[in-house]
Amino acid sequence: MSIFVILGLLVCVKAQGSSAVTPVFVQKGEDVMLNLTEADVEKDNDVYWNFNNRSTNKVSILVRWYPRTEPAVSQGYTGRIEFTVKKYCVKLKDLQETDSGVYTAQVFRGVFQTRAEYSVTVQDPVSPVKLTVDSVSSSSDSCNLTVTCSTQDSHISSTLTCDTKTCSQEGGERSEVTTSGASLRVYLVHDSIACNHSNQVSWTKDVTKIQDFCPRHDGSECVSAGISVCRLKTVVFSIGLIIMVSAIISIHVYVKLKKQK
């Protein structure tokens, strides 16, 4: 399973009895499932889910189980935690930025032992992105475009050079990390220029066809350069068709004359 949390879905990462930290990314307002299998808990162990807040570095208890008792949810999380059919799997609802941090499942029997650990990052969906063509210059055999890929707080500019068949992007694909930690990219895809804004939980995209600004560029073999390849193919096909039809007629006439004799 990907570490990305798709819009409207939950992530339930299965603990394997290890204290290795599992990264999980959640979109703001969505839920996350934190799992601890019963196999990780020995009989008569106390079980705790703790939260180390990333912004305050304060550790608090979310929920705890004592042997043969119902789970006790800490004040402040009442109504925000649901329990599944799996005894120690908890769903934390409606996550906000302040819920970013490390969630740790521990068992206690004389000493505390970590059984599962998740580093949860809550992110806003990325803002819309806009691709604009700033300038166009063309000659008989080439066309240059300068484009800008922009969001609310960042932008990237790039220059493309196209002939009648191909395009190249000066310096290759352009990308940068925005002030919000998302990725902003501008790149060529087929006969279009694309602008992409994404983080681990969402993405937006804007695409512009190059031919709308460089009419001579069609990205195909049918290019204007003396006798075009497309026209040459048409001529060859026509000649072949004429030869084939002539051969059929000749055979038909030959068979008919032979029958008459």
Residue 189 pLDDT exceeds 80: yes
Show Cβ contacts of residue 3 under 8 Å, excluding neighbours closer than 6 positions: 11, 23, 24, 25, 200
Please name the helix (run of DSSP H) or strand (run of DSSP E) that holds residue 240, with its range, or none.
helix 229-260
User: Does a structural domain hold residue 1?
Assistant: no
Q: Say if 111 falls within a structural domain.
A: yes
Q: Is the domain of 118 the same as that of 24? A: yes
How far is residue 83 from each of residues 5, 88, 98, 152, measured CA to CA in Å? 20, 8, 22, 39
The answer to whether position 155 is within a domain reads: yes
Do 195 and 234 lie in one domain? The reply is: no
48 inside domain:
yes
**Residue whose token pair is 């220059």:** 159
pLDDT reading at 198 higher than 80: yes
Residue 85 CB contacts under 8 Å (≥ 6 apart), including other chains = none
Determine the residue type at 52: N
User: What is the pTM assigned to this prediction?
Assistant: 0.68
Confidence of residue 48 (pLDDT cuts 50, 70, 90): very high
Percentage, residues of the chain above pLDDT 90: 49
Inform me whether the pLDDT recorded for 226 exceeds 60: no
Cα–Cα distance, 148 to 154 (Å, whole number): 10
Mean pLDDT on 75-102: 89
Look at residue 88 and tell me if it is in a domain.
yes
Q: What are phi and psi of 131, to 5 degrees?
A: -110, 120
Q: Is 243 part of any domain?
A: yes
Name which of 94-108, 123-137, 194-208, 246-260 the model is least confident about.
Answer: 246-260
Arithmetic mean of pLDDT, 12-38: 76
Which of 73-87, 91-105, 211-225 has the weakest average pLDDT? Answer: 211-225
Mean of pLDDT values over 152-157: 91
Among residues 123, 151, 170, the one where a domain terminates is 123
Q: Which two tokens stand for residue 114?
A: 């970590």
Domain of 191, in residue numbers: 130-212
Q: Judge whether residue 79 has pLDDT over 80.
A: yes
Domain end call among 57, 88, 123? 123
Task: Say yes or no: 109 and 56 in one domain.
Answer: yes
Residue 72's CATH number: 2.60.40.10
State whether 194 and 112 are in the same domain. no
Where is pLDDT greater, at 45 or 18?
A: 45
Whether 220 maps to a domain, the answer reads no
On whether both 27 and 73 belong to a single domain, the answer is yes
**Are the C-beta atoms of 30 and 10 separated by less than 8 Å?**
yes
**Cα Dmax for the chain:** 114
- Percent of all residues in the chain with a pLDDT value above 70, rounded to a whole number: 83
Rounded mean pLDDT, 146-162: 93
For residues 27 and 123, is the Cβ–Cβ distance under 8 A? yes
pLDDT mean over 241-255: 79
Q: What is the pLDDT of residue 141?
A: 84
